[in-house]
Amino acid sequence: MEAVIDTPPTAPLAAPDGGEQAIDLRAEFTESGLARVLDELDTDLVGLVPVKQRLREIGALLLVDRARARFGLQAVSPTLHMSFTGNPGTGKTTVALRMAEILHRLGYVRKGHLVTVTRDDLVGQYIGHTAPKTKEVLKRAMGGVLFIDEAYYLYRPENERDYGQEAIEILLQVMENQRDDLVVILAGYADRMERFFTANPGFRSRVAHHIDFPDYTGGELEAIGARILDGMNYRLSPAAEEAFHRYVELRMAQPHFANGRSVRNALDRARLRQANRLFASERPVTAGDLTTIEAEDILASRVFSGGIDSYPPLPAR
């Protein structure tokens, strides 16, 4: 048999001391790794200035709270449940991952993993199915962050026997009683989240931080595209850059536009066309050929002929 052997308790932390003792917040900021996570966030994510600002503020708050606790000033753990509102593809999931890391660095969650779920993962199909499903998810998320995408689907007022209500009640209970064990982030469109909170005041009172994700500008979307391509070892030729600029402008005005996600999808299709073009050319290819996306790979998109770009693409001719 193997087991943990009890270690002696660590010495109690310094008591308040008439201002004699001091905690260097700057050093804490660096040592906790928070500085690095926030810097990475700044460089990895395009735009999102208000979001980054709020994350820094929350980070500072937690750092100060931690310092206060060490002086014995306050023992209750802060409420960290959050809501992320914004249109699809504005980076909510991406930021939630970083948030989990930030909370882990600061010691507010023990493991720092992110469990992403939607209504289907929480709500069952028949009586007695919902509670075990919701509890299963909560169990997996403990020690980390539970991200509930499109949280408002949990609440279906038009059906009073809807099982979503059961999931909501279990969630609320755990959010209240086990604040040390997990942090819940609710995400979705701003207006629907607002209605959800109005109908479920229990959630509103348990969510401490509301963060709004604005839509990206055309320039930001192009920068996001460049990031994505760079990450996959591709680049746009100068002509393709111009084509992509026009693509983004047109696509933004079309229905079902999903910010960063539309950019990612468009580039995935461009890569497909590039591969087809290289294959059809029947010439040996260089590393340069393999990494370069040409204007024609982008211009073949249906966006330019008035249609919405969607999978599968038109044959690139």
Partner 1 sequence: MRITQGAFSFLPDLDDGQITRQVQYCIDKGWAVNIEFTDDPHPRNTYWEMWGMPMFDVPDAAGVMFELNACRKAHAGRNYIRVSAFDSTHTWESLRLSFITDRPADEPGFALDRQEVDGRSIRYTTRAYAADRPEGARY
Ligand X SMILES: Nc1ncnc2c1ncn2[C@@H]1O[C@H](COP(=O)(O)OP(=O)(O)O)[C@@H](O)[C@H]1O
Binding site for partner 1 (CB under 8 A): 1-4, 6, 110-111, 113, 135, 138-144, 178, 180-182
What secondary structure letter does DSSP report for 200?
Answer: -
CA distance 244 to 228: 13
Question: Other C-beta atoms within 10 Å of 134: how many?
Answer: 25
Q: Could you say which of partner 1, Mg ion, ligand X, none residue 4 binds, taking C-beta under 5 to 8 angstroms by partner kind?
A: partner 1
**34-44 and 49-70 are packed helices; what angle lies between their axes, rounded to 10 degrees?**
180
Residues 75-104 that bind Mg ion (CB under 5 A): 93
Does 271 sit near ligand X (CB under 6 A)?
no
| Bridge partner list, 186 | 83, 148
With contacts defined by CB under 6 A, name the span among 12-20, 40-48, 134-142, 175-183 that binds ligand X.
40-48
Residue 259 binds to Mg ion (criterion: CB under 5 A):
no
Contacts with ligand X in 221-240 (CB under 6 A)?
224, 227
d(CA 297, CA 243): 9
In angstroms, the CA 168 to CA 162 distance is: 11
CB of 260 to Mg ion, least distance (A): 10
Which of the listed partners (ligand X, partner 1, Mg ion, none) does 47 bind, with a CB threshold of 5 to 8 Å by partner kind? Answer: ligand X
Residue 54 near ligand X by CB under 6 A: no
Question: 164 contacts which partner out of Mg ion, ligand X, partner 1, none, CB within 5 to 8 A by kind?
Answer: none
Strands 114-117 and 82-86: unpaired
Q: Which of 37, 45, 62, 167 binds ligand X (CB under 6 A)?
A: 45
Q: Which of ligand X, partner 1, Mg ion, none has residue 1 at its interface (CB below 5 to 8 Å by kind)?
A: partner 1
What's at 310, amino acid-wise?
S
Does position 98 interact with ligand X (CB under 6 A)? The reply is no
Amino acid identity of residue 57, one-letter, is E
Is 188 a binder of ligand X (CB under 6 A)? no
CA distance 209 to 112: 18
Using the rule CB under 6 A, which residue among 32, 85, 93, 274 binds ligand X?
Answer: 93
Q: How far is CA 89 from the centre of its chain?
A: 10
